[in-house]
Structures are given as structure tokens and as C-alpha cells.
Structure 1
Amino acid sequence: MNPLLDLLHPYPFERLRVLLEGARPPEGLRPLNLGIGEPQHPTPPVIADSLVQNLHLLGKYPPTAGTVELRSAISEWIGRRYAIPCPDPIDQVIPVAGTREALFALAQAVLDPAERAAVLLPNPFYQIYEGAALLAGAEPVYVPTPKEQGYLPDWGAVSAEIWPRVKLAFVCSPGNPTGAVMTLEDWKRVFELADRYGFVVAADECYSEIYNGDPPCGSLQASIALGRGLERVVSLNSLSKRSSAPGLRSGFAAGDADIIKPFLLYRTYHGAAPSSLTQVASVEAWQDETHVVENREKYREKFRIAAELFGPGLQIPSGGFFLWLPVPNDEQQARRLFEQAWVTTLPGTYLGREVNGKNPGQGYLRVALVPDLDVCREALIRIRETLETPTIG
């Protein structure tokens, strides 16, 4: 077996399962799961109808490079969304089977296994970043995202001897789990470092269409605004959150043609092309914004309810659909919420790594506001009431 597999950490939800073993929730309550960030709004008809009408495409192998129609639809969406020139649909855009798959695969294509490269990732983080780095033979370098910096990466915490070894940096905006959004100035700092040290920026932007204020500044948008073109940057996005279609497994990678081209070669062997049926439905989804606006408003209403229930002390994130809720002891409180309120949440500790004696995820619960409005309201009421009740013993 590949010895690098031994370096992988248990996934957060496996750790959560162990934490909740033996816990007995109260009778008379329905279970409410806000632990996993799986969008549960109904998938819009524009996608469902296309799938039904094109079932005959299951008899065809999908093109790894994607159909011209899909690559063009993605390119045009990027141009509309970020008010930039549309990327070349042939040289700068490829479809992928969701951002999770593509984030992992991109690291395998970009990193040279013969060198001990360093890979930057925010801490806390989406665990695929870490696994992608480890299985590419690289060293993950955990960059803290402290509250004092708006939960954005503190690049100054990376030691001087690390920077020359950095070959890839994962950047997530809006962030998982904190919902922090990068401004043009924040992107400028990232690209200055990328240009100085020559590393690739992998921008995980799957939450880009769920926001509470202005639309987040995107990586491609920022790179062009800064006058550097799309050099050494790849944006990864999907229909999972934007269109409430996580089971479709459809997204894109777009950016530097000198990265996209070899990445496509890798994917030819990787065999992860979205099905022909998925690709046709995805064209329809990227061309429609009505369902996206409706989807975003549903999340905004949930955050309005959270603000009403928890008061002004609750920090509402700029983007994404997670509450990053501060608590005295995240593991203890997660088990307590399950046992006393039958609400599942995820301890922030499981999303971070301890560096210099500190895990920046410790002391938070990640609460995924993905079920329908009534479920979220009931769950938030139970969470508030439970956390306000003093523990005994």
C-alpha cells in the first residue's frame, strides 16, 4: 500500500461519530443535523428537468475536456459574475466533478513528487487540502486564521525558510468554516507572495454565490484588476452550493492556461469527467441566475433568524452558510447539544491542526444552516437554550 496513506488524519465526521458514541438524545424530539455542510434546498427545476429530458446521454462516454457548450457557459458565467473578460473556454476552462475532486487532483498535477514542496493551507480548513498535499508527497503548512485578522490567513506567521519551498497555496473565500471573505487588498497580498516565490494559488470559491452583503471579490477578478492576468492562479467552483445540487458533482477549474493544459492531461488519466448527462444539465444551471438569487435569499433569512435569536453578540459571516459559534469547550458542547437537544454540530477542533500548542478551531462549533427554514429555526432555538443552561457537575 501507498505509505503516504498512513499520514492521513481521520475525517472530521469520523471523529464526530466517535465523540457521540454512547450519547443518548432525549425522547420526544426529532433529530436535527447541522453538522455536515450538505445543501438541502430543493434542486432547481432547470437542472432536474434537463436530467430527465436527456437520460439517453447515459449511453455516451463524457469528454474529459468538457463539451464546447459547457466550457463556453462556464466562461460566460465567469465574465458576467466578475465583470472581467471571459476566460478562453478552450485553454483556460475545464469542467470537473465538483471542487472536492478537483482540489485534490490539482495538487497531484501541480506538485513535483521528487521534491519536498511546502503547501500552504488555512487553519482551520477543509480537510481535502491537507490530504491532497500529503498524498502528493508535500508538507502541509498550516496558516492561522485568527479572529483578530477577520479569520483570514495570517501570512506573516509563515517562517522565512518555508517561503522558498512553497509550490502551492490553498485559499478559500468565502471561507469554510468561518465565512470570511477576501477583499481585493487581501488578494493583492496573496498574489504578491505568489509572484515573489513562484507558487500556484488554488482558489476554492465554492461558496462564492452565498453571501450576506456585496458579492465577494473573486480570485480571477482580483488577478486581472491587479494587472497580472491569470498567471499562477486557478479558481475552482461548483454547482453544489450555488445551485443546491451537491449530488450532480459538477464544477469547473479556470485560470492560467499553462496550468489548465497539463491539468487536463492529468485528468485524462484520472478519469473524473462529469457524465454527458451532467454536462448538459450544467449548461442550463450556469446560464440561469434566478434560482441562485432565490437560494441565496433562503440562507440570508436563516442568518436573520440566527441574529434575532442570539442577539448582537453573534457574528454573522460575510459568506457561506456556516455559523462559526464560539463556545467554552467545543467537543464537550457538541456532545451536550446532541445529548440534551438532539442537535448535531461539528467541533471546530476537528477542522484545525495544533501548531505551537494551539488549535485555532478549538472553542468553536461549526453550525451548518443547510436544512429548511423551520428546521434551522428549531435547531437554533434548541442550541441557544442549551448553551444558556449552566452545566451541572
Structure 2
Amino acid sequence: MNPLLSLLQPYPFERLRQLFDGVTPNPAYKPISLGIGEPKHATPTFIQQALCDAINRTPSGLAAYPATAGEPSLRQAFANWLKKRYDLAVNPFTQTLPVNGSREALFSLTQTLIDPGDSAVTGDKPIVVCPNPFYQIYEGAALLAGGEPYYVASDPARNFAPDWDSVPESVWARTQQLFVCSPGNPTGAMMPLGEWQKLFDLSDRFGFVIACDECYSEIYFRDEPPLGGMQAASKLGRHDFKNLISLTSLSKRSNLPGLRSGFVAGDAAIISQFLLYRTYHGCAMSPVVQSASIAAWGDEAHVVANRALYRTKFAEVTPLLASVMNVALPDAGFYLWADVAGDELAFTRDLYANYNVIVLPGSFLAREAHGSNPGTGRIRMALVADTAECVEAAHRIRKFVQSRRR
């Protein structure tokens, strides 16, 4: 077996299962889960219809192998959306590529990029820098590519922006890839143009690739939408998107997590090599999924409606919780990142036992690095269910917090 598999840590939800082992939740309450960030809003009917139409038409496309690069019409849909959303002009056939959801692409992109060289002999593994807390795929992708993760803590005093200035030059010198998540998971923080300028300058100096995870880009609470990585590059005159790949998905934007559909865009030289890797890896997207994806990327009305549902929900839930705990409306995304002023593991376990509400301990989403775990004392709440269920959960959490103070 691949010895690198032994380096992988249990996924947060496995750790949560272990935390709840032996705990019987209060049967007086209906179970509510705010633990998993899985969209629960209805999938738009027109996208489902596009999928069915693609299956039923003759020929359906299911009798032929799809091209890994995707149909030209799909890649053109990516380019059209990038133009509408970010005012970017890209070549759809050299600067975009379909992927089976951003999770799959985040992992496989790292396998394409990382060159372990003679690290087995020297012990100096290539470094993959990622924010802390973070999406665990970043870490797993780095480890299985033969790299070494380096964790950069998010700073609550700076709207949870990662403290890039804390990274020593000796680390940047060994860095081959940097993961950025904007809007962030779990904090919802958006990265401003000045931060992008800092990272682009570092990339130019040290030669690493920036992989920007933007799967939460269409759920936001300000009037101004989140700045995308390629949009930032364009504003700074970097129209070739050198050493930059942005990754996005239909899962959150269009409530389609089961479709497994997204795309990557950016540096044409990297896209070319990524396509080569994917051709051998067998990552071609089903023709019927491509058809549904074209329909989804071509419509914004359902995205506006979806965003409105989240805005309404957060407007009701956030004040309820803010009255008893340190939590605030995030910039974007569908999580609340709350300070519980104490042991987040005990908080999570006791909340489940007494009120049958599941949240995720913040420490499960972060790593102990440089003397601390930035998720300690915090919980993540995914407001993905309907408004009534999320409001009910908020009332129970309020009661729980108030009972702990007595």
C-alpha cells in the first residue's frame, strides 16, 4: 500500500461520530444538524429537466466516451459566465476545463503540480501552504502528492484573514502550491485586492502556484460580490493569470451537490498539463451532466433567488445567537463561525445530548501549528436547512448557552 495513506487524518465527521459515541440525544427534541455543509435548498426544476432531456434524447451521448476536455459548448458556457460574473475575457479552450466538482479538482490539481524531487533522500519535502482552519482536502492532497502542509492561521482581529506575513521566507522558498479559499470555509471571509497583490508578488518571487477555491462565491451578504482570484489578477494587469488556477462548482451556487460538476480556469500552461493528468486519471464528465451544467451556468435568476433565501435565513438566525455568544454575520458562505468561550468539544457534545442539535467543533477543521489550534473554542454552524429549522436550532442553542451560565 501507498505509505503516504498513513499520514491522512480522520475526516471531521468521523471525529464527530467518535465524539458522540455513547451519547443519547434528548428524545424530546427532533434532531437538527448544522454539522455538514451540504446544500438543502431545492434543485431548480429547469436544471433537472435539462438532465432528463439529455438522457431521453436520441442519441443521448451515453453510448460514447466523453472527452476529458468536455464539449466546446460547455467550455464556452464557463467563459460566458466568467465574463458576466467577473468581466473576464478568457479562451474557453485553453483557459478552462470541466471537473467533477471542486473537491475532486482540488485534489487532482495538487497531484499534477507537486514535484517531490529527491525529497525522499534529502528530507526537504515541497511545501503546500494552506489557511488554518481549512478544508481537509487541501491537507490530504498535499500529503498524497509527497508534499508537506504548512498552516497559516486566520486572524480574528483581521476579519479572519490568514496571516501571510507570518510565513518565513525559508518556507516560501520551498513552497510549490498555495491554497486560498475566498470566501473562506469556515469563516466566510473574503480576500481583498491588497491581499491578492501580496500573494501574486510572492508567487512571482518564489514560483509557486496559487489554487483559489471559490465554491462559496455566489452566497454573499454584502451588495458587492466577492472578488475572484482571476478578477483580482485582471485588475492588477495580470491578464495571463500566471501561476493562478481558480476552482468553482455548481454545488452551492445552484444547489447541485449530487451532480458533481464544476470547472477550473486560469493559467493556460497549467490547464494544459492538468488536462494531460486528467486524461490518464479518467475524469471525463458525463455528457448528460454536461448538458445540465450548461443550463445551470447560463442562468442567474435561480442564483439570485438562492442567495435571497440565505440572506433571509442569516438575518433571522444571526441576531438570535449573537445575543448569547460571540458570532457575527460573515462576508459570505453559509456558515456561522462562533466563539463558545470555552471547550468546543464539551459544548458540541452537551448541546447534542441536551437539545439534539449537531454542530461541528472548530478544532476539527484546523490543526495545531505554531503553538495553537485556531479552531479551539469555536464551532461551525452550517445554515443549510430551511429557515424554520435553522431558527429552531438557534432557539435551542440560546437555551443551551443560557443554561450553562446559570
> TM-score normalised to the size of structure 2?
0.94
Instruction: Kindly provide the amino acid, as one letter, of the partner of residue 94 in structure 1.
Output: L
Counterpart in the other structure of 1:103? 106
**129 and 186 in structure 1: CA distance in 2 versus 1, 3 angstrom threshold:** same
Cα deviation code 1:199-232 (max 9, x no counterpart): 1000000000000002000000000110122100
Residue 292 of structure 1: aligned partner: 303
Residue of structure 2 equivalent to 1:61: 65
1:199-278 mapped onto 2 (5 Å cutoff): 199-213=208-222, 214-229=224-239, 230-278=241-289
The C-alpha deviation readout for 1:121-159, integer Å capped at 9, x for no partner, is: 000000000000000000100011110121111011112
1:374 aligns with 2:388: yes
Pairing 1:193–2:202 present? yes
Gaps of 5+ in 1: none
* Structure 1 residue ranges (4+ consecutive) displaced by more than 6 angstroms after TM superposition: none
After the TM superposition, which residues 19-58 of structure 1 pair with which residues of structure 2 at under 5 Å, given as runs?
A: 19-55=19-55, 56-58=60-62
Q: Aligned partners of 1:359 and 1:311: how far apart in 2? A: 23
Q: Secondary structure at 1:246's aligned position in 2? A: coil
* Equivalent residue in structure 1 for 2:78, among 74, 93, 96: 74
| Paired residue type of 2:20 | L
Structure 2 gaps of 5+ residues are 120-124
1:187 deviates by 1.1
Q: Which letter does structure 2 place at the counterpart of 1:317?
A: P
Residues 123 and 144 in structure 1, CA contact (< 8 A), matched pair in contact too: yes
Distance 2:217 2:172 in 1: 28
1:351 is aligned to 2:365 = yes
Structure 1 counterpart of 2:96, from 93, 97, 117? 93
CA deviation after TM superposition for structure 1 residue 32, in Å = 0.4
Deviation per residue, 1:78-134 (Å, 9 max, x gap): 11101222x101000000000000000000001113252111000000000000000
What amino acid is aligned across from residue 257 of structure 1 in structure 2? A
Could you say what secondary structure the match of 2:170 adopts?
coil
- Displacement of 1:190 after TM fit? 1.2
Residue 321 of structure 2 contacts residue 397 of structure 2 at CA under 8 Å; is this kept in 1? Answer: no
Q: Distance in 2 between matches of 1:269 and 1:140?
A: 26
| Conservation of the 8 A alpha-carbon contact between 1:171 and 1:202 | yes
Q: Match for 1:322: what amino acid?
A: Y
Contact between 1:26 and 1:342, CA under 8 Å: does it hold in 2? yes
1:302 shift after superposition: 1.2
1 CA distance for matches of 2:293 and 2:64? 16
1:113 correspondence with 2:124 = no
TM-score normalised by length of structure 1: 0.97
Note the C-alpha offset of 1:310.
Answer: 2.6
CA distance in 1 between partners of 2:394 and 2:66 (Å) = 43
1:6-48: CA deviation from partner (whole Å, max 9, x where unpaired): 0111110000000001111111211101100000101011210
**Distance in 2 separating the partners of 1:248 and 1:57:** 17
Provide the rounded CA distance (Å) in 2 between the counterparts of 1:342 and 1:279.
40
- The residue identity in structure 2 corresponding to 1:146 is D
The aligned amino acid for 2:139 is E
Deviation, 1:53, is 1.1
* Aligned-partner Cα distance in 1 for 2:183–2:388: 25
Match of residue 346, structure 2, among 303, 328, 332: 332
In the alignment, residue 50 of structure 2 is paired with which amino acid? Answer: S
Report the Cα offset of residue 391 of structure 1. 6.4
Identical columns (%): 51
The amino acid of 1:186's aligned partner reads: E
- Paired residues of 1:103 and 1:128 also in contact (CA < 8 A): yes
Which amino acid counterpart does residue 341 of structure 1 have in structure 2?
Y
C-alpha contact 1:109 1:263 (8 A) present in aligned 2:
yes
| Alpha-carbon distance between aligned partners in 1 of 2:201 and 2:187, rounded to the nearest angstrom | 24
- Whether the 8 Å CA contact 2:50–2:295 is kept in 1: the answer is yes
Contact 2:327 2:337 in 1 (8 A): no
- Aligned-residue offset at 1:168: 0.3
Q: Which residue number corresponds to residue 150 of structure 2? A: 141
